[in-house]
Amino acid sequence: MKFCLNHFLSAVSFALDYAENDVFGVPLNHGKRVAYIAWRVGQRIGLGDDDIFDLVSLAILHDIGLSKYIGNKERIADFANYEVIQGHCVIGEQSIKKYPFLKKEQNIILYHHECLDGSGFFHISGNDLPLKAQIISFADYIDTHFQVNKFYGGYAERAGNKILSLRDRKYAATLCDAFLDLSRQPCYRLDQQPENIYTCLHRGLPERTVNLSYEDLIWMTEIMSDIVDAKSRFTWRHSKGLAEKAGTMAAFYQYDSVQRTKLVLAANLHDLGKLLIPNRILEANRALTEDEFALVQSHTYYTRQVLSQIDGFEDITEWAANHHEKLDGSGYPYGKTAAQLDFNSRLMGCLDIYQALTEDRPYRAGMSHAKAIGIMREMADGGRIDAGIVHDVQDVFGG
């Protein structure tokens, strides 16, 4: 299928930025701001459209390696921890190997914390540092130390003085000069506001489309489902488990490979919106307040918001985002009814319940197949979920 990378990248940046914020305490939208700064600096030093596109993609993905540490609270307790810092560069470089960049370049993410003087984690210096790695390292430094909203006045001067002291030592003079110029414009600050950064990146970037199979999309979207699963120890294998079951049911219903893959994609991404829900609520060891409960319920709304941006994902969005709707209209967030829920939406809803009931949680062991089916039958008898599908799930997973 023709696949628009821009739309996909905004979905990934949504996932990454929220996870980095909630788990590591990095101010929200870090990836997008680094991408913005890299883009504007890249433009000023005269990079062409394809290079800009790859630069911005890499900048959005630059901290992707952190996702492997999300579930490991001990290892990330100290974010400055050498292993995590160096490790996220190595893991990040590996995890984007198959990404369809326009140009074949390596070691950009690996060296995104390196500086000209060799003071980075790998002690790479001078001309051995690829230009895009230099730009991302520079943009990352700026957002980490001079995030626009931390300053109320005097931004260009304060950031500028510091950058001048690093010019030609840690960061190339051309990059520093581009930034000094840029940071004086009011739009530099306005563009990076939370309400503007998304549209701004979207509007400014050249649009790039590639040809991908649905199979390619499975590994590309695993970047996101891995982050969702890793985010909370309560649900660490939930999306993966659901995707496996969706694949099994697709085989049972003799779906062709495109339909099967789309269903698996929907399962991989169904809880994407949970990235917006803070872990202190997802993992609360007490009854939730009404507000907190409403927040948890909003996750499928955000799953829809993100996935519906991706062209070609219309079905996938429906199946993923309808998984908490019920046939009798008692579900959320839209209170859809039977006529509005197609077969795969119903299937996803049933499988999500089955997966949740049968998987282990820190506070309880997973239920047996029979017990889970008993509960689902009651729900089907009450007209809430599809009785035929419950019957099939019973057959397929009962053996």
Site of interaction with Fe ion (CB under 5 A):
63, 140, 271, 352
Based on CB atoms, which residue is closest to Fe ion, 140 or 191? 140
* DSSP 8-state assignment for residue 4: E
Nearer to Fe ion, 3 or 354 (CB): 354
Using a 10 angstrom Cβ sphere, with 0-12 exposed, 13-18 middle and 19 or more buried, the burial of residue 301 is: middle
Shortest Å distance, C-beta 80 to Fe ion:
12
Shortest CB 145 distance to Fe ion, Å: 12
Q: Which of 306, 246, 245, 244 is nearest to 275 (CA)?
A: 306
The least CB distance from residue 51 to Fe ion, in Å, is 20
Nearer to Fe ion, 54 or 140 (CB): 140
Note whether 309 and 11 are within 8 A (CB). yes
- Min CB(370)–Fe ion separation in Å: 22
Instruction: State in angstroms the smallest separation of the CB of 351 from Fe ion.
Output: 9
Rounded to whole angstroms, the Cα distance separating 172 from 119 reads 14
Between residues 271 and 325, which has the closer beta carbon with respect to Fe ion?
271
Closest approach, Cβ 36 to Fe ion, in A, equals 13
Pick 61 or 116: Cβ nearer Fe ion: 61
Residue 3 or 241 having the CB closest to Fe ion: 241
CA angle (74, 77, 80) in 5-degree steps: 125
**SS3 state at 326:** coil
Shortest CA distance to 114 belongs to which of 96, 134, 128? 134
Task: Please state, in angstroms and rounded to a whole number, the distance separating the CA atoms of residues 119 and 349.
Answer: 52
- Tell me how far, at minimum, the Cβ of 186 lies from Fe ion, in Å: 25
Residue closer to Fe ion (CB basis): 140 or 325? 140
Q: Two tokens at 151? A: 């300053």
In DSSP terms, 364 is beta-bridged to: 361
H helical segments located in 173-323: 173-182, 186-191, 194-204, 214-231, 238-252, 257-269, 279-282, 290-297, 299-307, 314-321
Q: Which is nearer to Fe ion, 54 or 271 (CB)?
A: 271
> Least distance in Å: CB of 213 to Fe ion?
26
State the nearest-atom distance from the C-beta of 89 to Fe ion, in Å: 7
Residues facing residue 2 across a β-bridge: 211
SS3 209: strand
222 vs 271 by CB, closer to Fe ion: 271
Are the beta carbons of 324 and 302 closer than 8 angstroms? no
Residue 63 or residue 222: which is nearer to Fe ion going by CB?
63
Q: How far is the CB of 57 from Fe ion (least distance, A)?
A: 15
Contact partners, residue 201, CB within 8 Å, separation at least 6: 10, 32, 35, 36, 39, 56
Find the radius of gyration of the CA atoms of the chain. Answer: 23
Q: Which residues of 9-39 are buried (b: 16+ CB within 10 A; e: fewer)?
A: bbbbbbbbbbbbbbbeebbebbbbbbbbbbb
Q: Where are the beta strands (DSSP E) in the chain?
A: 2-4, 209-211
